Every structure is written in C-alpha cells, then in structure tokens.
Structure 1
Amino acid sequence: MKTRFVLIHTSHAGNVGAAARAMKTMGFDDLVLVAPRWPNVLRREETIQRASGALDVLQQARIVATLDEALDGISHLCATAMTPRDFGPPTRAPRAHFEGLLGRGFGEAGGAGRPATGETGIAFLFGSERFGMANEDVYRCHVALSIPTHPQFGSLNLAAAVQLIAYEWRQALGGFDVPARLPQAECADAAQLAGMLAHWQEALTAVGFLDPAAPKKLMPRLNQLFNRARPTVEEIHILRGVAKAMIQAARPKS
C-alpha cells in the first residue's frame, strides 16, 4: 500500500529535513513538497543537517507546483488540522480513524469503496507552519486528523506532527518489533550454582559470618535466593571472584 507524506507551502527548510527523518524512522520514504518556499529546499544545508541520515528520503522526494500533482495514485486523503471546520470532512483522532479504516478492508482489492483494480494509496497532508492547511485543501480530504493534545496548548511543530502521524500509521499497520538490547545470556546450570555456593560457604566462614558449628539455614536460604535470581554464567564468575577476594582478605597478614 502506498503511503505518502505531502508538505504544502513549507516555509522552513529544517522542517523538511526533520520530516524526512521522522518518516524514515517509521519505514516510510514517499515525500512530496507542494510549492515550498525554497525551490532548492532539498539541497539546502539546513535540510540536510536536520535529515540526519535520511538523505535517501530527500533524494527521492519530489517538488510539485500543485496539490493535484502530489496525489497521483492516492485514493484516501487525510488532512491534518488542529481545529475542526464547520464544513468539510469529519475530524478524528489518528488512532481511531486508522483502526476503522483498516477494519473496513482498506488496501485490499475493492476495499474502502475503491474499485477492485488500480493501486490503493493513503496520503497525509500537512499545511504551512504559520497558517496550517487551507480550507479548500481540507475540504477535498476524506478526514481531518487531529492529534489529541493538551486543550490549552495544541501547537505542534511540523516535523513533530509528521512523526506522530507516521508512528500511529505504522502501529496500525502492525508496527516493528523492539530489538533486544543484547543476546539472551546463558543461565548457570545446577552444578555451576552449587560450586559457587560452596565457594561462598568457604568465604563466609573465613570472614566469620558463617559458624560451621551452627550454620542454621544460611546456605539453604542463599541457595533459594540464587535459584530465584537465576544468575548467568558471567554472574557466577563475578560471585566466585567476590568469594575469592573475601578468603584472601581474611588470611592472616605475614
């Protein structure tokens, strides 16, 4: 399914770069600029700096003169508007709209009221930084998406709005898995745990914490503690190193 982000009359070059970066982090790369302030905005230094690694998105981005040119291959138009209009498409929160849209089969053959032939695409339209979207552009859309914000301060930076819409749409499509920080460490087996506890028993005796004549239930309790903790092999090595240092510290100084 085609997903396109359309920036209309963008006036700040940095916002174009930041929008490209926001799109790439969510796996989108179709960016179209409609009559931006700077004809060379895709090559401006501020744009490139703010893109921060999303240069491929900028390289394939298109600049067009009219909104009509930006919407080829698109069947569902989403305006972005903070305040509802008294006329035009319904205003909805992105998450609720996407759930309903995909629930109606958008993107499948014949889904969402389109013919069974032809390509389905969705476009998210963003207006200029100062004035937002023009009414005539909002009126031609199927929905006006409004990001739920604090009622007394709903002003979002353009790139921040792109990031939020891109995130919500990606989540609706299935999202990405959160990568594990590190490979799962191997837990110590029973023999390794028993060897470490024997080493600790020797160390605790050496420092006078454990009385071999009256051990009570110290070692079984430690055994249960480490069973719950499920230490890794590397952690067993650390604990045995601590036990070794305790034994050495307890030896009489010559």
Structure 2
Amino acid sequence: MHTSHPGNVGAAARAMKVMGFADLVLVQPRFPDVLSQEETVAMAMGSADILARARIVGSLAEALEGITYACATAMTPRDFGPPTFAPRERLPALAQEGQRVAFVFGSERYGLANDDVYRCHACLSIPTHPTYGSLNLAQAVQLLAYDWRQALGGFDVQPRTADPERATLPEVMGALEHWRAALEAIGFLDPAAPKRLMPRLQQLLNRAQLTREELHILRGIARAVGRGSPR
C-alpha cells in the first residue's frame, strides 16, 4: 500500500521469487513507473519476471479481488480490528484451509491505515525485540514469504557438494602400513617393542571415517616423513 521507495519494490519481488511466489500487486505507489525504475530493477536481482507480471491498482479492494482470506501486517497495537497472530501461530493452519490468501503491507512511513486493517481477516505481527520492532518493508516481505512457504511445505535443501567417498578398510590398512614404515624410519616406533601404537592409530582412523582424499593426504605426509628421515 502506497509504497514510496523503488528499492523496496525490487527487493520485495526478489524476496517473493526465492520463496516461489509471483503475484505482486501495488496499491497506489508513490511513483506510477516504479516497476521500471532503475533502482527497482537493480534490487530485484534476477526477479524481473515478477516485476513484469506485477499489477498496479487504485485501491485495496481491487488488489483483493478473488482473495478469500486477507492478512494485514501491522506492528502497532489497535483497540479494534481482526485478531492478531504471530505468523507461525496462524499460517500452518491457514495453509490447510484451501483459501486464496493475500498479505497486505503498508507504506514504509506509516504502515497500514486502520480502515485497511479492518478489511482483513487477521493481523500478522512478526515477533521482534520489544524495544525495537521496526522492519524494512522488503525484510517483512521476506520473513512472511518464508513462513508462508514453510507452512505450505517448504523446499528441500539442495546439496551443494557431492557426498564424500569414504576410504575402504583395506585402504586404511594400507595407509597404516605406510605410516608404520615412516614412524620406524624416524625412530618414533620401535619395531621390537611396538606396544599398542598401531592398533590405537587404527582406532583413530576408524573413528575419523576418512575420505579417500584425506587418506591420500596422510599417505603423502608419511612419504615426506620417510624421505626426510636420517635413515
């Protein structure tokens, strides 16, 4: 409602896209060309498609056409109006109701007018520190978009690295034999009285669950130790 900063529009579009939402409606923004302004596009960062589909309308009633459940977002307590919930208190149940849901945000300077809040079925208040609860508009959009996506089921985390290839037991045994020779070469291990050094190293490597690359590093160290020994 009455957005005044183009950067917030772009950042809000980005916040929506990363959570899988695309229906952005602006009600009487300060700048009629806000969707195409340079700052808006720059802050959108790859979500230009959201801006391209966004609509600018003249009233909240137009913006809520087809919506069956509207959530106002407000920090300031009111003595009259819809019930107020924390997002995670209300959204999981709302996601199960099959409603067409809209989240209504106010202007950066004044928030939502009382009449706009009265149009809504519920008011969502993001829990913040009691002495300072002022959120940037785009930040508020991101937080609610995240909570709504989680209520709808969320997305799986995509792995960024391949699963490590664990060293096999024979490979670990081979590395231990390599280390035995290196330790004998530098005089750390007495082959006549080895005691329990090698079994303890065996247990250490077993607990470590080394990858093949890590085992190769240890064998490289043993090789360098052997080359540098006076024997």
- The code of the aligned residue for 1:198 comes to E
Q: Secondary structure at the match of 2:52?
A: helix
1:5-154, aligned counterparts within 5 Å? 8-102=1-95, 105-107=96-98, 120-154=99-133
- The code of the aligned residue for 2:194 comes to P
Q: CA deviation at 1:181?
A: 2.8
Cα distance in 1 between the residues matched to 2:189 and 2:52? 70
Structure 1, residues 175-223: CA drift from partner, whole Å, max 9, x if none?
A: 1122223111111111111101000111111122111111111100000
Q: Which residue of 1 aligns with 2:136?
A: 157
Cα distance in 1 between the residues matched to 2:230 and 2:24? 72
RMSD, aligned CA: 1.1
Q: CA deviation at 1:233?
A: 1.1
Q: Which consecutive unaligned segments of at least 5 residues does structure 1 have? A: 1-7, 108-119
Cα distance in 2 between the residues matched to 1:100 and 1:42? 34
Cα distance in 2 between the residues matched to 1:197 and 1:62? 68
TM-score by length of 2: 0.97
Q: Which residue of 1 aligns with 2:204?
A: 225
Cα distance in 1 between the residues matched to 2:149 and 2:156? 11
- The code of the aligned residue for 2:136 comes to N
Cα distance in 1 between the residues matched to 2:93 and 2:18? 24
Q: Which residue of 1 aligns with 2:215?
A: 236
TM-aligned CA distance change 1:238 to 1:224, over 3 Å: same
- The code of the aligned residue for 1:128 comes to S
Q: Please point out which of 170, 175, 181 is paired with 1:191.
A: 170
Cα distance in 2 between the residues matched to 1:202 and 1:74? 75
1:242-253, aligned counterparts within 5 Å? 242-251=221-230
- Could you tell me whether the CA contact under 8 Å between 2:92 and 2:152 is conserved in 1? no
List, as ranges, runs of 4+ consecutive aligned residues in structure 1 with deviation greater than 3 Å: none
* Comparing 203-212 and 123-132, the one that deviates more: 203-212
Q: Which residue of 2 aligns with 1:178?
A: 157
Q: Which residue of 1 aligns with 2:194?
A: 215
Q: Number of aligned pairs?
A: 231
